[in-house]
Chains A and B, each alone.
Chain A
């Protein structure tokens, strides 16, 4: 399994500002993903973070709102841009290693927009 560190663990932000969330894995992984979990809800895939190229976004999510970087095989960032209270959610980094298809999740970043 992989050890995933997400920073920050939580934040309270003003509307209109942006927050960048970091995801660091202790080993090289094949795939990295970003999910959103709205309060009391299920997890929804935002995008696949591709190393060295633009992320692949799911329907309903766009790069201008959620820019993602993945400069190497162990690190990725998700930025939540021009935040509104509707962006208040838990954002989770997920990784899949080359060993199998199991996905592991970070602890999440709990974002509150006021």
Chain B
């Protein structure tokens, strides 16, 4: 019940295309859902986050779509660029804990 399932494991997208990564959870106590980007040799960096009272949040080329009833959320990267090539992690945090449960990660490669 504490797991966050993430797919796909890897993704190859052409430059200018849309990258879509999906996550699903079971625990209804989760109330904060961030996405992190990690480059090799670096710590994860926060990209964008959403709470369950919002169905969509957009920041630049990055959009989170959230479906509370289905317990699913996804990251869309519009106009994907080679510089977006990295590993992306979704996460979920139970209310009031500030602890994060991470998904298994998606390795994105954007071809030039």
Interface residues of B in 46-93 (CB under 8 A from A): 46, 49, 89, 93
Residues of B within 8 A of A106 (CB): 43
Contacts of A41 in B (CB 8 A): 104-105
Distance of A42 Cα from B3 Cα, bound (Å): 12
Interface pair B98/A31, CB less than 8 Å apart: yes
A window 68-94: CB within 8 A of B? 92, 94
Task: Tell me the bound Cα distance from A108 to B102 in angstroms.
Answer: 16
Interface centre among B43, B44, B45, B93 (most CB of A within 10 A): B43
Number of A-B contacts (CB under 8 A): 47
- Please give the number of chain A residues whose Cβ is less than 8 angstroms from any Cβ of chain B in the complex: 22
Given known A-B contacts A43-B44, A102-B34, A102-B46, A48 and B99 have beta carbons under 8 A apart: yes
Q: Which residues of A contact B89 (CB under 8 A)?
A: 42-43
Check if B99 sits within 8 Å of A45, measured CB to CB.
Answer: yes
Cα(A41)–Cα(B45), bound, Å? 16
- Complex interface residues of chain B between 86 and 112 (CB less than 8 A to chain A): 89, 93, 98-105
**Smallest CB-CB separation from B96: which chain A residue?**
A101
From residue A10, how far is it (CB to closest CB) to chain B in Å? 9
Other than the given A43-B44, A43-B100, A101-B93, 10 more pairs (CB < 8 A) read A30-B98, A42-B89, A42-B104, A42-B105, A43-B102, A102-B46, A102-B49, A106-B43, A107-B41, A108-B43
Residues of A within 8 A of B (CB): 4, 30-31, 33, 41-45, 48, 92, 94, 96, 101-108, 110
3 closest residue pairs by CB, A with B: A105-B43, A43-B102, A96-B98
